[in-house]
Amino acid sequence: MATAIPLGALAERLGATVEGDATQSVCGVGTLESAGPGQLSFLANPKYRRQLAECRATAVLLGRDTDCPPGFTGTRLRVADPYLAFARASRLLYPLPPVEPGIDPSAVVDASARVDVSAQIGPHAVIGAGARIAAGVVIGAGCVVGRRVSIGTGTRLHPRVVVYDDCVLGDHCILHAGAVIGADGFGLAWSGERWEHIPQVGRVVIGDHVDVGANTTIDRGALEDTRIGDGVKLDNQIQIGHNCVVGEHTAVAGCVGIAGSTRIGPRCRIGGAAMLNGHIEVCADTQIGGGAAVINSIREPGVYVSVTPLMPFAQWRRNAAQLRHLDEFGQRLRALEQLTGLRDRAAGSNETPEGE
């Protein structure tokens, strides 16, 4: 449920300048097109400016130099970055539900586990031996927290999250339903006749303020730990293999697959459905487009894409037919270059020296 906040108080929290009635309150958010009285909206993309004239929101977040059309009669909150301010305002208007300390009678908590008195343990949750649950933690219904797991202050596990033995979650993390932390990595050895499992003896260590989306899986390390840095944001249905390292404040969109022992630097952005090969490195401040296949290490920051643009099937089939002959074309080109080089050298040797 949203919380009503006077615009003057909201502006103070956001560092905004108020143009209009600061005594009014807002208790929700909406788009320029859908927002009504009592709601807050924002204009970050200039192409939506025409919608501002007819916007019925009580207040709108605008850039400090953005022109406001005369049709908008609501209050204007001027900020440096409207989208960032909108994100912060939304968190103020829609705070997380308060923690309700206590252990549900149906939960199973091992006698050796240490659960802070301010933590909330939901129905049918299981807390293993030696686990440490810090102050303000919320463990949702049906969660399983393994032996010797450590969960930091204020972290929240939504229903059915599983955290395997010995893993570590930092402070103020959010793990959504179905996330699995610390399952075995894909460690196998071929005997010549069959695959043999390699025990995965590392952990998963997650930093502070990390978000993990629904049904995302992070495998434990084979020998060393899989590590997720502070402030990392992981979308739904991501697979992170064993021994990976994801640098702080990196954001990864849905359905990305990151193979084992890959190291991703800080502040990277990885688009949806991208696939990263194992045992490679991606340097800091790299942006990878959706659907990209990253085969080799990226050592220079920048924007990288590799997805083939959508095209009609007949055109794609013609291009694919040409692609099958690419190696042949390359050989023919090299042969032609060699012939051209021989011809040029022959022509040079036949030239009459100057002065003869």
Which H/E stretch holds residue 333?
helix 326-349
Which H/E stretch holds residue 150?
strand 150-151
Domain count, the chain: 2
Domain termination residue (choose one: 74, 93, 112): 93
- Is the Cα torsion angle 123, 126, 132, 138 positive or negative in sign? negative
What number is the average pLDDT over the span 69-74?
90
Helices 326-349 and 313-324: crossing angle, nearest 10°?
50
Establish if 151 belongs to a structural domain. no
CA 102 – CA 119 distance, rounded (Å): 6
**From 164-173, 316-325, 338-347, the region with the lowest mean pLDDT:** 338-347
* Per-residue model confidence (pLDDT) at position 353: 57
SS3 212: strand
Each residue of 262-302: pLDDT tens digit?
Answer: 999 999 999 999 999 999 999 999 999 999 999 999 999 99
Establish if 343 belongs to a structural domain. no
Domain span at residue 276 reads 161-314
CA 232 – CA 171 distance, rounded (Å): 13
> Is the predicted pLDDT of residue 352 greater than 60, yes or no?
no
Each residue of 113-147: pLDDT tens digit?
Answer: 999 999 999 999 999 999 999 999 999 999 999 99
Q: Is 242 among the residues known to form the active site? A: yes
> Is the predicted pLDDT of residue 241 greater than 90, yes or no?
yes
What number is the average pLDDT over the span 319-329?
88
Establish if 137 belongs to a structural domain. no
Q: What is the mean pLDDT of the chain?
A: 95
Which H/E stretch holds residue 315?
helix 313-324
Residue 323, Cβ density class (10 Å: 0-12 exposed, 13-18 middle, ≥19 buried):
exposed
Which residue among 158, 242, 249, 279 is the active-site one? 242
220: CATH? 2.160.10.10
Establish if 138 belongs to a structural domain. no
Each residue of 89-117: pLDDT tens digit?
Answer: 999 999 999 999 999 999 999 999 999 99
Give Cα 104 distance to the centre of its chain.
Answer: 32
CA 197 – CA 234 distance, rounded (Å): 28
Establish if 106 belongs to a structural domain. no
- Count the neighbouring beta carbons within 10 Å of the beta carbon of residue 314: 8
**From 148-152, 229-233, 334-338, the region with the lowest mean pLDDT:** 334-338
